[in-house]
Structure 1
């Protein structure tokens, strides 16, 4: 069966990747163009740190190939500071900016909550109640209490994807029965640094080969992320 999983990274502007991925003489202003020659998706994390504008997303849209797709992270003011409380208007603005700026190149909208955000029914209902279901919503938790049937059943009923994460001290479950497969590899045991072995990547590919979705490598504090992404991509060809 043909593989429909798109593979990419969660950053690209990375001096560790020089001579490993980027040619030595390639100026940094051309790094993203070079990235797009090898990958067809990118996880845009800049919006987590600074609320984006339509113009910023339009610029990204215009510099990428026709079939390129972006997954975009929700600003931390919504997920980490306010933790969804009194955020309806702000989140609606974000959705609209994504739609207007990224247009047909928008893949998923990623909500990533902090490790301190533990499960409660109140929080689960808050998530379900605030999302715009015209978008592919993916939720990443970093507290193990969210790994439970009540959450998974509620997400499936509401067409929300539970993010598969490779993160220290969290379950390594690969979730394959949500609307899309969405995986983020952060590095274990050393967060953002550690590499995944060929054997680990081969086992991941064995599990996801017939699925549709996205895999992003966020172990980008070294050369590990780009090397892992390239190796896994080669397995899918």
Structure 2
């Protein structure tokens, strides 16, 4: 699934040429029991020293990263939506099994009443996301830390989110960053709308492991620069066990919940885990180490 050591040190133009008799389609990291693992973005200068092969041209970084990981969260769309041709280009550079998640524009979620931005949310979805085709994964709506839980406003926003795009069901996930969302009423609301809630593994923001949608989305923010894989072996083992539990319909009891463990019921789920921020230079190594534990590499 991964390029060989010889390929990694080959000239940039030859990095992704399949050896004779081998199918380049095998050069990918498929999901394992519905579990996908990745990082935020693919353009970061320090990764050119510890993730990307020496000499790899920048325009091929997505091509390479998408064959080492099973998903990437696109953060650039938080700052501005891209042109449809750009989305199409990104999709074309990745294997068939690869999936992107997209962070919706902050201008929609970071200020003002959410309910007033429903048309903007629809415009973002209609602005070219169909170009991703089957590579379109969850759409992440990140709220500002200052936004307190307003049931009516959140309900109106979730009710207004588009549910389909050219015949394909859309998956939405909400990242809440204010302690006021530690409220059973929020859990009921999100479950009624079948919108997932991010599990944010961070001391800065509230961490809710309560399952509110039909998939699980975790953003892991504790990588450390002094650990080559970002996380210690025992920590990666624990995340592998949690990912398997979520995928199998379980609800890890060692993570913080607002409601009761298992309230969402037990059924198989897709799982998306992203190593985000913290010691960012270590995040690709953390993702690949977790994929190895899951048997994807």
TM-score if structure 1 supplies the norm length? Answer: 0.88
Measured in 1, the distance between the counterparts of 2:54 and 2:271 equals 33
Contact 1:11 1:44 in 2 (8 A): yes
Contact 1:220 1:226 in 2 (8 A): no
Residues 1:86 and 1:181: Cα distance change in structure 2 (over 3 Å): same
2:76 to 46, 49, 57: 46
The alpha-carbon deviation at position 69 of structure 1 amounts to 0.8
Deviations 1:80-139 (A, max 9, x none): 134524222221111123542212211111100111111122332233232223310100
Secondary structure class of the residue paired with 1:72: strand
Measured in 1, the distance between the counterparts of 2:224 and 2:49 equals 25
2:239 match: 204
Aligned residues: 233
- Give the unaligned 5+ runs of structure 2: 1-31, 165-169, 248-269
Measured in 2, the distance between the counterparts of 1:205 and 1:174 equals 15
TM-score if structure 2 supplies the norm length? Answer: 0.72
Mean CA deviation greater in 103-112 or 163-172? 163-172
Secondary structure class of the residue paired with 1:88: helix
- Give the unaligned 5+ runs of structure 1: none
1:5 to 32, 35, 38: 35
Contact 2:198 2:208 in 1 (8 A): no
Residue 231 in structure 1 maps to residue 269 in structure 2: no
Mean CA deviation greater in 226-235 or 11-20? 11-20
Residues 1:189 and 1:143: Cα distance change in structure 2 (over 3 Å): farther
Matches within 5 A, 1:4-23: 4-23=34-53
Residue 214 in structure 1 maps to residue 272 in structure 2: yes
1:174 to 186, 209, 215: 209
Residues 1:222 and 1:43: Cα distance change in structure 2 (over 3 Å): closer
Point out the structure with max Rg over C-alpha: 2
Measured in 1, the distance between the counterparts of 2:280 and 2:137 equals 26
Deviations 1:68-89 (A, max 9, x none): 1111111111011345242222
- The two structures, once aligned, show a CA RMSD in angstroms of 2.3
Secondary structure class of the residue paired with 1:209: helix
Residues 1:177 and 1:131: Cα distance change in structure 2 (over 3 Å): closer
The alpha-carbon deviation at position 156 of structure 1 amounts to 1.2
2:8 match: none
Mean CA deviation greater in 171-180 or 92-101? 171-180
Residues 1:173 and 1:129: Cα distance change in structure 2 (over 3 Å): closer
2:256 match: none
The alpha-carbon deviation at position 170 of structure 1 amounts to 3.3
Q: Which runs of 4+ in 1 moved over 4 A?
A: none
2:185 match: 150
